[in-house]
Amino acid sequence: MKVLVAMSGGVDSSVAAALLLDAGHEVTGCTMRLWGGQSDTGCCSVADVDDARRVAQQLGIPHYVFDFGDDFTAGVVEPYVAAHAAGRTPNPCIECNRTVKFDRLWRRADALGFDAVATGHHARVVEEGGRWRLRRAVDAAKDQSYVLHMLDQATLARTLLPVGDLPKAEVRDRAAALGLRTAAKPDSQDVCFITKGGRESFLSTRLALTPGRVVDTAGAEVGQVAAVQLVTIGQRKGLGLAGGAEPRYVLDVEGDTVTVGSHDELLVDQVDLTDVTWVDRPVDGAVLVQCSAHGEPRPATVAGGVVRFDSPSPRVAPGQSIVLYVGDEVAGGGLAG
């Protein structure tokens, strides 16, 4: 099978390419150039492209660099800025998977005659009864199924995730045994286009940041923030609150006013879902709900686009991705309304 492997310059995609090569596939590596200049955090830096190219040379496979910068700007960066301007909490890594890695790259793979696309994500694709399932990785601490919840049957049928069955330690051991230059490379943790200047520096050149007042639920002013666009539901720090008091959390952001309250006031019974996608068929009934990439799954019931938590849970920021699981299987997901 002809497989195009998306090589990010990290150890996971490096080992994914090696595993597919060992399995007898005709493997070609590619790296997507998404963001101009050299990032000093996250993935997609110039150094990452060089690492991917050199690993491909070590493995003896072809390697190409695809410039998808315009697609990345339109599908990831611009929506990220727009979401912050609208007071929502975006997840750019999910949108990168949705619009670039599993859309734009797929179209390029089709045009070049590849049978499948592989990545180094820690998750598993399993065929059962003629249907495709997306499951959590063997290594629960490294599981990335949350950021892949938008994948559908047609995409999963031609997607390979070779490292999802391996603990991360074994991935590194295999890379070391092969002498790959990425064996000890740290994992990327940050958004690729946000450098050391942080969100405020990035967004301040792209939208007008608005100072805001922080009030309690009685309306009394208790603090100030430099930019309401950088405040998210559930936030506790950076609100200009006096120290030593009971912890207070962001309950709501309306205009230039941020309302804070106690942890009990942060709790809700349900959340509405928008922009829902399903891996296979729609699910109604008992699910586990995950509201961040490494968040603790919460028992809930989903019906008609509404998630009802089994017990009161911290409210989810509008725009944040909510992923629904049945056991270790991804059912689908959407955005908090």
As a residue count, the chain comes to: 337
d(CA 167, CA 173): 10
Query: Distance of CA 214 to CAs 72, 249, 293, Å?
Result: 35, 11, 28
d(CA 167, CA 42): 22
Cβ 31 vs Cβ 53: under 8 Å: yes
3-class DSSP assignment, residue 168? helix
d(CA 177, CA 326): 37
User: Catalytic: 192?
Assistant: yes
Cβ 56 vs Cβ 20: under 8 Å: no
Bridging pattern class, strands 159-160 and 116-118: parallel
Q: In what order do the strands lie in the sheet with 257-261?
A: 221-225, 212-215, 257-261, 249-254
DSSP 125-141: EEEETTEEEEEE-SSGG
Report the helix count and the strand count for the chain, using DSSP H and E: 10, 17
The one catalytic residue among 30, 43, 93, 192: 192
d(CA 326, CA 332): 10
**Residues annotated as catalytic (active site), given as ranges:** 96, 192
